Amino acid sequence: MTLRILLASSFTAIAASLAYPAAAQDTAQPAQVGDTPEVIDATDGGSENEIIVIGNTLRGQVDAPQPPILELDEEDIATYGAGSLAELVQALSTETGSGRGRGGGPPTFLVNGLRVSSFREMRSYPPEAIQKVEVLAEEVAQRYGFSPDQRVINFILKDNFSSREIEVEYGQPFDGGTSDKELEATLLNISGPSRLNINLELSDTSLLTEAERGVIQSVVPVVPGDPDQGPYRSLVSDSEDYELTANWTRGIGEAGASLSLNGTAQRSDGRSLSGLDTVTLTDPDGDSALRIFGADNPLTRRTRTDTFSFGSTLNARAGDWQLTGTIDASHADSTSRIDRRAETAALVQAAADGTLAIDGPLPPLADAGFDTAKSKTDSAAAKITAMGNPILLPAGEISVTLDSGYDWQRIDSSDTRNPEFDTELTRGNLNGGVNVSVPIASRRDDAWAFLGDLTANFSAGAEHLSDFGTLMDWSAGLNWGLTEELNFQASYIFREAAPGLSQLGAPTIVNLNVPVYDFTTGQTALATVTTGGNPALTSETQRDIKLGLTYDLPWFDRSNISVEYFRNRSSDVTASFPLLTPDIEAAFPDRVTRGSGGTLLAIDQRPVTFAEQNSQRIRIGLNFSGEISGGEEQSGGGSRGPGPVAGGAPAAAPGGGGPLRATFDPQRFAAIRQSLCAEGDTPPDLSVLPEPMQARLRGADGQIDPQRLAELRTRICSAEAGQAAAAAQGGAAPTGAAPQVRIPGGRGPGGPGFVRGGGPGGRGGPGGGGGRWNIGLNHTIELENEVLIADGGPLLDLLDGDALSGGGVSRHTLSLQGGAFYKGFGTRLSADYQSGTRVEGSGLPGSSDLTFGDLFTLDWRMFADLGRQEKLVESVPFLKNTRVSFAIDNVFDTRQEVTDQNGEVPLRYQPFLMDPVGRRFEIEFRKMF
């Protein structure tokens, strides 16, 4: 009886695959539906005639032992009100940032479960083109050949989508002074595996000066008529940016191969003000006066950066292996022109001779000209990955990822202020690695089922750097699904890491009149600050442990809690130059220059190497999501209006674009049985089979594998199969996404065990009606964070009075995200909190401790999809497919308060220096054609 039920279920899946194409011919194809449901035979560890029914999934979903950290369907995406995938990723930064504390930067990206050359390929896509988003753990990144300090975002695209979009934004602080303007135009066409995207973006930010925020100056005029420095020192630079991006993807053949090309050209211009010239004049009587001059020609830095980027991705199959080749290259040319300080020796001499009154008018001085700092950075990265499931165990298939690549970087930098420090650095990085995931126990496959689902993961890699030698890394991990709802993860990571080439070779630049708080004197000084690279840096050794627990809560549509523990141990740590505390100055005395009275004159802030850094933290995450009943029948996200987008493919079917109901097609199934089960030696006509079934019968050479065909014929032609088919025919028509069953011999074009085919479905998948709400809370608790500056040197406790940058490390950080979308209207709140810290002074006279207060910020965004308001569109047809948004950042205009032990605010930590913008609003108009 059980066998017959399994067979009936399996042939129900086949029925869905046979019925769906006919239904799709009569009805607008839902944008969300993937390819024809895949029917795969399976003898995986079971009896000879056993067929296993796999759960419902979308084509392009990632199949990994680690469950997704976050899944978003179309309704969920709509609650973010994002205008592009770049904005959506920014809104998801709390969930997509790695908790390892290694500064892994932005997450890595997949499209339909496959690697891409870079985020440029899809960052300008409108969210309406996305069917589902998956956020996956760092362990999954290793399965795709990425480093283990980045999380993964997988974008599952709709099969057919077309749009032309214009977006206009304007924003400014409530206090005025500066404004941001942005214009963006986007074209996107998606037709199955083929895509075309062109994006043009223009942005402008106006200058904001210290005078416009009332910043108190550390150097003030003492002679009437001398100008104040405030109007000539910038808080926000004047900048203009222009960017043009083109992306093209084309499917190749019928085996799921694809080729993509993308290119970007960008120009950025910036201008900032560094104040005015100063000179101290002393007359023959010994009286002196500090003079400020040059208001007609303030010290200015002008920077222009041109960047050109290119990328390409080739995805193909070789038998049961998914092969991906990527290349990403860029060239950046930056030129900074920094005004020189005026030559004042003649003024000093004239005052000393008594020919120039120290408080009188100053004669004009010749233009001192400017210095030029140039930097050219070239980079290229090529990588090939192969992913497959070569071995079948009782608990499932072993998944293997092999990757090999070559990275190349070159930095050429020069500075006329320091001509002897011209830099030419080149680095080549030949790297390779392997990742193996071994299933140990499986409930589905009834292998050690009492243990639940248990998988071990191992990886190892090596890289040979032309300027550093060979570095190694390896890791081991365990993923344990104790129950369907409870999952445990553990991993250990060893890695040797080299400093970045920019940390080694950035141009040496001397910045004048930079405010620096001096913990030794308790004063803010205008010091000369040197920045750039440090070629003496060494490689870093990292040893990390991660433990994680995830539990799906039985509330709402989707809710879960996750708890992660991280322990990091590092030696020979490369870091930016830390906050200038007495301990730091004692450890790096050659980096600080003081005057005869102890006044801070100059500081060299190029990177340094610490002996050790150790940290421990816990991160707790809560996610809730649910539906709002009573909404419109059509679901969707963002600004999708009713009906298809102009010039595009048909819009989603009612009910959120879920799969159409399909009825069993007995005639077509009978034709399949007749062809496969005919007696005699005549080869069967396989053209009657759905293409996905044909693809899975092919071997490595692309030809039909006789063994696979024989096994398929045995199962379909058996008596039990005929009875199961009859049961499927007589039963209810399948709804939702059709189930899948495995075929011996491998996977289809969707991916080698990592990617499963089928239509949408499963818990919390897109469905009909209503709106959607979601809430996410993340709380990080720092348990330990210590730095040993040098062997035998001071040990800094960053949680208890010491600091490397800013104001120490907050013990608690929290982030709360929440949003809702209903009947075309949406709102979203983002709240962030960090606990206060303190930094201890030297204890010497004049020195002071600093207290950095708690900081809480709240951002609010609301948006209206005018295209979904039918009466409004009838009155004003132009509003079809439009959305307007209004956002307020930092609603309560909060800034971190910094005080010394007397309760006073040091000049360097004035609120407007900490955050010159504060509360800000933004208005956005978005129109899709």
Reply yes or no on whether the pLDDT at 682 is more than 70. Answer: no
Query: In the predicted model, is pLDDT for residue 641 greater than 50?
Result: no
DSSP state of 685: -
Q: In this predicted structure, what is the pLDDT of residue 655? A: 32
- What pLDDT is stored for residue 258 in this prediction? 93
Count CB atoms within 10 A of the CB of residue 165: 23
| pLDDT per position as a tens digit, 348-371 | 999 999 999 999 999 999 899 999
pLDDT digits (tens, 9 = 90+) for 647-662: 333 333 333 333 333 3
Segment (H or E) for 18:
helix 2-26
Strands 600-604 and 523-531 come out as parallel
When mean pLDDT is compared across 343-347, 431-435, 900-904, the lowest value belongs to 900-904
User: How many residues are listed for the chain in this entry?
Assistant: 929
> Buried (b) or exposed (e) across 476-494, using 16+ Cβ within 10 A?
ebbbbbeeeeebbbbbebe
249-272: per-residue pLDDT in tens? 999 987 789 999 999 999 999 999
The Cα–Cα gap between 860 and 828 comes to: 6
Kind and range of the H or E element at 734?
none
**Quick one: 224 exposed, middle or buried, by C-beta within 10 A (0-12, 13-18, 19+)?**
exposed
Q: Please provide the DSSP assignment of 810-843 as one string.
A: -SEEEEEEEEEEETTEEEEEEEEEE--EEE---S
- Dmax (CA) for the chain in angstroms is 121
Q: Which DSSP symbol is given to 356?
A: S
Is residue 172 left, alpha or beta, with left meaning phi > 0 and alpha meaning psi from -120 to 50?
beta
Residue 400: the pLDDT is 96
Task: Express the helix, strand and coil content of the chain in percent, nearest 5 each.
Answer: 15, 45, 40
Q: Residue range 565-583: average pLDDT?
A: 88
Identify the band that residue 698 occupies on the pLDDT scale cut at 50, 70 and 90.
low
Q: How far is CA 333 from CA 246, 371, 379, in A?
A: 21, 17, 12
Inter-CA distances, 497 with 383, 464, 650, 768, Å:
19, 11, 50, 49
Distance CA 686, CA 680 (A): 16
Looking at residues 480-507, what average pLDDT do you find?
88
399 forms beta bridges with 437
Q: Does residue 823 contact residue 806 with C-beta atoms inside 8 Å?
A: no
Helix (H, G, I), strand (E, B) or coil at 404: strand
Q: Is 885 helix (H, G, I), strand (E, B) or coil?
A: strand
**Mean of all residue pLDDT scores within the chain:** 82
Q: Which residue has the higher pLDDT, 559 or 665?
A: 559
Q: Count of alpha carbons within 13 Å of 765, Cβ hemisphere only?
A: 20
Tokens at residue 894, please?
């909060």
- What is the structure's pLDDT at 773? 92
Q: How many CA atoms lie within 13 A of 129 on its CB side?
A: 31
Q: Rounded to whole angstroms, how far apart are CA atoms 577 and 503? A: 11
Q: What is the DSSP annotation of 22-78?
A: HHHHHSPPPTT--SSPPEE---SSS-TT--PEEPP--TTEE--SSPPSEEEEHHHHH
For the segment 104-142, what is each residue's pLDDT rounded down to a tens digit? 567 899 999 999 999 999 999 999 999 999 999 888 888
Grade residue 518 by pLDDT with cuts at 50, 70 and 90.
Answer: confident
Res. 327 pLDDT band, cuts 50 70 90: very high
Q: What does the pLDDT read at residue 18?
A: 44
Instruction: Please report the pLDDT score of residue 828 as a whole number.
Output: 95
Q: What DSSP element (H or E) covers 120?
A: none
* Secondary structure of 291-315 in HEC code, one letter for each residue: EEECCCCCCEEEEEEEEEEEEEEEE
Strand partners, 330: 309, 379
pTM equals 0.76
Q: How many CA atoms lie within 13 A of 321 on its CB side?
A: 16
Strand partners, 749: none
CB 458 within 8 A of CB 398: no
Of the pLDDT bands very low, low, confident and very high (cuts 50, 70, 90), residue 532 is: confident
Overall average pLDDT of the 739-761 stretch: 37
pLDDT reported for residue 3: 36
Q: What percent of the chain is predicted at pLDDT more than 90?
A: 54
Q: Measured between alpha carbons, how far is 864 from 344 in angstroms, rounded to an integer?
A: 60
Q: What sign does the CA torsion over 660, 664, 666, 672 have?
A: positive
608 forms beta bridges with 575
Could you tell me how many helices (H) and strands (E) the chain has, helices first? Answer: 14, 44
CB 121 within 8 A of CB 85: no
Is 869 or 705 the better-scoring residue by pLDDT?
869
| Tens-place pLDDT, residues 789-811 | 888 878 889 999 888 877 788 99
pLDDT score for 699: 63
Mean pLDDT calculated for residue range 311-334: 95
Confidence of residue 202 (pLDDT cuts 50, 70, 90): very high
Q: 117: Cβ–Cβ under 8 A, 6 or more apart, which residues?
A: 260, 262, 311, 312, 313, 326, 327, 328
Instruction: Pick 581 or 327 by higher pLDDT.
Output: 327
How many Å apart are CA 288 and CA 279, to the nearest integer? 10
Contact 474, 454 (CB under 8 A): no
Cβ atoms of 19 and 662 within 8 Å: the answer is: yes
pLDDT the model gives residue 162:
94
Give me the pLDDT at residue 842, please: 63
Please report the domains of the chain, with CATH numbers, ordered by start residue.
2-27+659-729+739-756 (no CATH), 160-372+380-415+430-451+462-509+525-626+770-928 (2.40.170.20)
Provide the angle, in degrees to the nearest 10, between the axes of the packed helices 666-677 and 2-26.
120
Whether the predicted pLDDT of 458 surpasses 60: yes
Q: What is the pLDDT of residue 731?
A: 42
867 alpha-carbon distance from chain centroid: 30
Residue-level pLDDT at 693: 66
Tens digit of each residue's pLDDT (9 = 90 or more) over 79-110: 898 999 999 999 888 888 777 767 656 789 99
What is the model's pLDDT at position 845?
Answer: 59
pLDDT at 496 over 90: yes
The pLDDT score that the predictor gives to residue 766 is 38
C-alpha 545/C-alpha 119 separation (Å) is 29
Q: For residue 637, is pLDDT > 70? A: no
Contact 665, 16 (CB under 8 A): no
pLDDT at 465: 92
pLDDT tens, residue by residue, 405-414:
999 999 888 8
The label of the residue with tokens 């191969």 reads: 257
Structure confidence at residue 565 as a pLDDT band (50, 70, 90): very high
Structure tokens at 810: 């907050």
The answer, yes or no, to whether residue 633 has pLDDT greater than 70, is: no
- pLDDT, residue 691, reads 59
Average pLDDT of 192-202? 95
Report the pLDDT value the prediction gives residue 775, as an integer from 0 to 100: 93
DSSP E strand boundaries for 206-287: 208-209, 234-236, 238-252, 257-273, 277-282
- pLDDT, residue 592, reads 92
